[in-house]
């Protein structure tokens, strides 16, 4: 069975936070995500459910079975700087 993956925007809407919060939570390890193809970030639904329920999630189980999924996401310095510059403009 393949894991269910959500887009960052879908995850943000579900959790009622901004997409930048989702990226931050991925970096902090609160949410488990992966990149597909040339860099589209997807969040494991099991990770979102675990966050909602407050229960730990066995991430090894959520990754089993899909050859199209690559290793977990690491937010790059470039992406981090983009988020920081957007925050400065908003304030």
Element counts in the chain: helices (H) and strands (E) = 5, 3
52 vs 63: which has the higher pLDDT: 52
What is the per-residue pLDDT across 4-35, written as a single tens digit (0 to 9) for each?
A: 999 999 999 999 999 999 999 999 889 999 99
Please report the pLDDT score of residue 72 as a whole number.
Answer: 52
Beta bridge partners of 36: 40
Q: What is the mean pLDDT of residues 54-76?
A: 50
CB 23 within 8 A of CB 76: no
Percent of the chain with pLDDT over 90: 41
CA-wise closest residue to 59 among 69, 72, 40: 72
Percent of the chain past pLDDT 70, that is, above it, reads: 59
- Determine contact, residues 37/45, Cβ cutoff 8 Å: no
């Amino acid at each position: 069975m393949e894991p269910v993956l959500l887009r960052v925007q879908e995850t943000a809407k579900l959790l009622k936070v901004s997409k930048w919060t989702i990226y931050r939570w991925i970096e902090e390890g609160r949410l488990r995500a992966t990149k597909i193809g040339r860099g589209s970030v997807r969040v494991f639904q099991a990770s979102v459910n675990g966050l909602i329920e407050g229960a730990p999630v066995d991430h090894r189980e959520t990754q089993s079975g899909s050859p199209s999924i690559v290793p977990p996401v690491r937010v790059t310095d470039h992406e981090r700087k983009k988020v920081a510059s957007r925050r400065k403009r908003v304030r």
